[in-house]
Amino acid sequence: MKVAVVGATGLVGSKMLQVLAERNFPVTELIPVASERSIGKEVEFKGIKYKVVGYADAIAAKPAVAIFSAGGGTSLELAPQFAEAGITVIDNSSAWRMDPTKKLVVPEVNADVLTAADKIIANPNCSTIQMVVVLKPLHDKYKIKRVVVSTYQSVTGTGVKAVEQLMNERKGIRGEMAYKYPIDLNAIPQIDVFLANGYTKEEMKMSNETVKIIGDENIKVTATTVRIPVMGGHSESVNIEFENDFDLDEVRDLLSKSPGIVVQDDIANFVYPMPLTAHEKDETFVGRIRRDETQANTLNCWIVSDNLRKGAATNAVQIAEYLLEKGLL
C-alpha cells in the first residue's frame, strides 16, 4: 500500500513514520511529503532512506492514504486536492475538526462512523483524544452531565522550537523563544490564542470536540489548559459529574477492560500515571480514581498519555488501520 506522510520532516511527522514502522502498517511504498524548502531531504523508514517530495508529486503518485501533519492552512488548501484524486486524508490539524461534513475520530470511541465516502477524516486535538478515551465507557455506563478539566501539557505539543527553548533555558543559553515567557521552572496558563469569551482556543477545542466525538450535546465541558516544562506526555485532572451513581471498584474494572486504557491506580504503592512513564507508549493511562466528596455522582481522576503518539501520530495510524481492516481504503 502506498502511504504518504505530509509534513514528514516535522516533530509529529517524524513520529508518524516511527509509529507506522512499529505497528507494521503494510506500507509498500512510502511517500514523504513536505514544503518546498524540504524537497530533496531524506527521511528514514524501516532502514531505508526516502527523498522528500512536493505536494504535486505526492498527489500524482496516487497513495491510498495520506496522513497530514502540516498545519491548518496547508490542510485547508491541500487536503481537498488529495481527496479529489481519490486519496483518503487523515488530517492532524484543527482545519477540519469542527466541519459538520467531516468525521472527527478516536478509534476506541467512534470509528464506526467512518465510511468509504469519508475522504477527509479529522484527528482530534491531543488533549481531547486522551480524555474521550476514558470518558466514553464511563458515559455509556453512567451518563456524563459535566466535565471540569485542567491540563498540564508537554512542551512537545508546541513543537521543536519549544523543546529547544526549554533545553536552552536549562543550560542557561539565550535562544529563540517559542513562548512569551520562560517555560523552565514555570507554568503558562495559555495554550493557543485567547478568544472573546476569555477561554483559549485549546480550551474550547476540548469542549467542542468532546461533544462531537461522543455524540451527545448534553455533555458540558469546561477546561483550563496549561503548558508546563515536561516532555513525554500531557496530564489532565478531570472531574466528571454523572446522572447516575457509580461504584469505584466497578469504575476501575470498567476502565481496565476498555480498549486503549491502562489503569494505574494503586496509591498504597505510589502507582499513578506520569508523563515520564507514559512516554513512547500508545495507551492512555488513568489513575487517582476517587469520589468527589463535595458533590453527588461525581468522580475525580488523572489521565496521562503521550501527546505525540496517542495524541497525534498513533491515533492517525489507528484510523488508517481501521479503514484497512474494514475494507474502506
Residues serving a catalytic function are 126, 234
Report the distance separating Cα 144 and Cα 299, nearest Å: 10
Other residues' Cβ atoms within 10 Å of the Cβ of residue 28: 8
Angle value at C-alpha 30, between 84 and 322, nearest 5 degrees: 65
Phi, psi values for residue 34, rounded to 5°: -155, 180
For cell 478509534, the residue is 107
Do the beta carbons of residue 4 and residue 28 sit within 8 Å? no
Q: Which residues of 69-104 are buried (b: 16+ CB within 10 A; e: fewer)?
A: bbbeebbeebbeebbeeebbbbbbbbbbbeeeebbb
Report whether 241 contacts 144 (CB < 8 A): yes
DSSP 9: T
CB 128 within 8 A of CB 145: no
241 sits in which H/E element: strand 234-242
Q: Are 230 and 155 in contact (CB under 8 A)?
A: yes
